[in-house]
Amino acid sequence: MNTSITFEYSLLWLIPCFIVALLYAYLLYQKDFKNIDSPLWKYRTWLAGFRFSASFLLLILLLTPFIKSKHTERQKPVIAILADKSESIRNGFKNKADTAEYFSKLKNIADDLSGKYEVAIYGIGDKLENNIPNSLQDKTTNLSSAFEMINDVYYNKNLGAVILATDGIFNQGINPLYTTENSSYEIYSIAMGDTTTLTDIKIENVYYNKIAYLNDQLVFETDLGATNAAGNNTLVSVYEIENGQKKLIEKKNAFINSNYFLNSFEFDISTTRTGVIHYQITASTIKNEVSYSNNTKDIYIEVLDGRQKILLIASAPHPDIAALKSAIGSNKNYSLDVVFADDFNTKLNDYSLVILHQLPAINSTSNAIIGQVKAAKKPVWWITSSGTNIAQFNKEQSAVSIIGNTNKFNDATAYYNSDFSLFALSENTLNALAKFPPLYCFFGDYKTNPSGKNLFTQKINNVKTDFPMWGFIDDNDIKSGLLCGEGIWRWKLYDFLQNQNNDAFNEIVNKTVQYLAVINDKRPFRVNLSKNVFDENEAVNMDAQLYNASFELINTADVDLKVADDSGKIFDFKFNKNEKSYSLNLGFLPAGNYKYQAKTNFNNQNFTAEGKFSVAKLQLEDSRTVADHNMLRQLALSHKGISTSLEESGKITKQLLSSDRLKTVLHDTYSTESAINLLWIFGLLIMLLSLEWVIRKYSGAY
């Protein structure tokens, strides 16, 4: 660390400071230098020195000195090792000894490189984990996501190289060759797995809708693939599985006429019962197949009794309407009809929710429409825009009153209300929301109903306000929603720009619609799941609510849960108590169908909630059995690296240890602090003046 002192004023001022301090000390003790009988004569030099030093130091502080420090940090190049821990790696090993050797080789590479470089090991599969793998059980492989996360973690850091140990098989994300196009670090690959094309028949893909409706006609499209199996016949069959029993629905014969065979088969199936239906698509096996597990695909379809109808009445076309239509249309539980106020002659009885966009409108008589909606006692979602007649709007609903100049607007971003309890948004959605562009909100003073609950409030010029942007109110058991903002179409576009999907925007809209459209549930005890079908690598989360006689949320009583699998085996759990409700993470469960029963006792009354859910088996790692070493070679060669086998991975270590391309980076950090803030200076002043005072007292002088 280098330190220097600078002054706000010219250094020439030190000369008069020195003279003044010296003169002051001399005048104070001149008589003690001349009078040998003075009690201070023996200590005159020390006392004058103390007074001079303290005075000179005080005068220097008046010149406002600054202490400038320079700290240099040496950052060694980082080597990130990405180790595949998916099932396809395990399937490529012959025995457990190969797995142990894989982990051992990774550790040896890290140990050998740690002297010259900073080494970090990450396991890649379902997600990126910052540790060396200890098992090969992940159900998916996303290589592009792993590189994206590495780019984020080491952004503006000295990332020198990435060592990728994998078989090149990925079943999620895009090809890593595209993800790393603009990456400046070196890439080395350890190619694993077998590139030999062996005899194999497999169900490649099954295309289907995850949600269907009772008495609908389901269509499955199945891709059957085969390698080195020319001349063989196989049967492609669809089974329905209920209570562990398999029922054949339909089967089709397939003749494999080439060694690289791919063909599609279509099955039409009627839905005759509701709930989560388990179907299994199988291809019969032949001799000498390398794998039998990929001959089967299990899928789960949720069959509903009917979909709810939503009506959107608008005064005029608007891009926000298209955004809402897209989001609501993504949920198979709802169908949306859009009509304009001038053409309105719709019967409201068939609809579960009415959305009023820009109504009441300026220069439009929409009172009759709003009157019909209120008379039908339907839940209403009010959405304002620049064409809304605010004076009339204030009269028609009780959630908020906007007072002010309604010709002016604020750019307001959405601020999430952490106390909101009507429904929960996922963490990914909340993270995306923080980056969404602002909406145009009416300028004015917002008077809110005390019984209203805001999901989002307006944040104007980085100032958090209590003005509602997205809120709800329950008035006499009729629920209403409120969106005081225009421009949510930009949320939809920005969500796709940032995340390549509209999941966050769709979740906000659909959970709003779900809350408003659902029939009020007056049960005092209830249990909820975020969905009815979970993937095998997805934790099953549940929450529960208990209400007292005043319908206030409480959690004083314990809630016990029993979960039974297909075989009848029962697992016992106990819900965790949150601030006012309950939650439980069941963790990762094996694939299959489950039943649950939750029980609690409150005020000597027993309450029970029951339901079902399913866990779908992930078979992505079985779908490809041939390693892609060519892609790994391209990846390494395009980034100044080499590609080797696991047995010859020492070549990568030797090249990196002998390389002079990866340089240590020096980071200089500068800091400036006023000397008046340094405590040791005040300590020194106090010490000098204290020593002078002690000597004077000891000598009997005052």
Higher pLDDT: 551 or 402? It is 402
Total length of the chain: 702
Q: For residue 204, how many other CB atoms are within 10 A of its CB? A: 17
d(CA 560, CA 566): 20
* Mean pLDDT, range 611-638, rounded to an integer: 81
Q: How many CA atoms lie within 13 A of 356 on its CB side?
A: 29
* Mean pLDDT, range 146-172, rounded to an integer: 89
Q: What is the pLDDT of residue 179?
A: 86
**CATH level 3 topology of 77-196+626-663:** Rossmann fold (3.40.50)
Q: What is the pLDDT of residue 622?
A: 63
Q: Which residues pair with 608 in a beta bridge?
A: 599
- Do 402 and 388 form a contact (C-beta atoms < 8 A)? no
- CATH 2.60.40.10 domain residues, the chain: 200-304, 525-614
Say whether pLDDT at 487 is over 90.
Answer: yes
Cβ-based burial of 253 (10 A; exposed 0-12, middle 13-18, buried ≥19): exposed
- Reported as a pLDDT band with limits 50, 70 and 90, residue 623 is low
**CATH level 3 topology of 525-614:** Immunoglobulin-like (2.60.40)
pLDDT above 70: percentage of residues in the chain: 97
> Which residue in 331, 334, 208, 183 sits closest to 271, CA to CA?
208
b/e code 541-571 from CB counts within 10 Å (16+ = b): ebbbbbbeeeeeeebebebebebeebeeeee
Q: Is 422 left (phi over 0), alpha (psi -120 to 50) or beta?
A: alpha
> Which residue in 324, 314, 338 sits closest to 502, CA to CA?
324
Q: Indicate the pTM of the whole model.
A: 0.51
Higher pLDDT: 477 or 562? It is 562
Say whether pLDDT at 246 is over 70.
Answer: yes
Q: What is the pLDDT of residue 162?
A: 94
Q: What is the pLDDT of residue 692?
A: 82
Q: What is the pLDDT of residue 599?
A: 95
308-517: what CATH class?
alpha beta
d(CA 673, CA 66): 6
Backbone angles phi, psi at 610, to 5 degrees: -125, 160
Q: Which CATH architecture has domain 200-304?
A: Sandwich (2.60)
d(CA 178, CA 188): 16
User: Strands 400-403, 605-616: parallel, antiparallel or unpaired by DSSP?
Assistant: unpaired
- Reported as a pLDDT band with limits 50, 70 and 90, residue 642 is very high
Say whether pLDDT at 410 is over 60.
Answer: yes
Say whether pLDDT at 34 is over 80.
Answer: no
Q: What is the pLDDT of residue 121?
A: 93
Say whether pLDDT at 14 is over 80.
Answer: yes
Highest mean pLDDT among 256-270, 618-632, 661-675 belongs to 256-270
One-letter amino acid for residue 532 of the chain: N
- Reported as a pLDDT band with limits 50, 70 and 90, residue 71 is confident
d(CA 357, CA 340): 9
d(CA 381, CA 317): 17
Higher pLDDT: 19 or 36? It is 19
Which residues are within 8 A (CB) of 53 and not within 5 positions of it... i.e. 6 or more apart? 688
b/e code 184-196 from CB counts within 10 Å (16+ = b): ebbbbbbbbbeee
d(CA 645, CA 678): 59
* Mean pLDDT, range 651-659, rounded to an integer: 91
Q: Is 31 left (phi over 0), alpha (psi -120 to 50) or beta?
A: alpha
- CATH 3.40.50.410 domain residues, the chain: 77-196+626-663
Judge if the upstream peptide bond of residue 360 is cis by omega within 30 degrees of 0: yes
Higher pLDDT: 509 or 518? It is 509
- CATH 3.40.50.880 domain residues, the chain: 308-517
Mean of the per-residue pLDDT values of the chain:
87
pLDDT above 90: percentage of residues in the chain: 39
Least-confidence region, from 235-244, 361-370, 379-388: 361-370
Q: What is the pLDDT of residue 635?
A: 92
Q: What is the per-residue pLDDT across 92-109, written as a single tens digit (0 to 9) for each?
A: 776 778 888 888 899 999
